[in-house]
Amino acid sequence: MIEGYGNLVIEHFKNPKNMGEIKNPDAVGELGNPTCGDIMKVFLKVEKNKLGEDIIKDIKFQTMGCVAAIATSSMTTELVKGKTLKEAKKITNMDVARSLGKLPPIKMHCSNMAADALHQAIDNYEAKNK
């Protein structure tokens, strides 16, 4: 085990879910952290459900960064896939961190980036589709 990280963090780092790129995405969110050098990109494919709500049909991410950056990106995609945009907007950095379990305090900024990149992608989608 990598010192300071919980088993779920390590699992999402070693076997990230939804890693990759969506060709012709409906929206993209991208963030970088100049302090640590992490870069995250979130791709969304959005579809209307039977109620006319926008749902996240598919979500992928590309992250260049540390263990925590990759794990939080992976967990964020798992938390929101299939949810409405309204539900996904409610996901916070603390939700991501709690879902992963043990994340070193010094790495909490990574969960901020993952949630923020998601929110940016949703904002970009909503701005394009007003």
Whether 66 is a known active-site residue: answer no
Q: What is the mean pLDDT of residues 9-29?
A: 95
The residue annotated as part of the active site, out of 67, 110, 118, 121, is 110
Report the pLDDT value the prediction gives residue 123, as an integer from 0 to 100: 96
Task: Tell me which CATH code domain 16-128 carries.
Answer: 3.90.1010.10
- 115 by Cβ neighbours in 10 Å (0-12 / 13-18 / 19+) ranks as buried
Compute the Cα dihedral for 44, 79, 122, 34 and give only its sign: negative
Q: What is the mean pLDDT of residues 69-95?
A: 94
The per-residue pLDDT of the chain, averaged, comes to: 89
Look at residues 53, 59, 14 and name the one whose alpha carbon lies nearest to residue 41.
59
Q: Are 14 and 72 in contact (CB under 8 A)?
A: no
Question: How do the domains of the chain map onto residue ranges?
Answer: 16-128
Q: Model pTM?
A: 0.90
34 band by pLDDT with thresholds 50, 70 and 90: low
Rounded distance between C-alpha atoms, residue 93 and residue 80, angstroms: 13
Whether 110 is a known active-site residue: answer yes
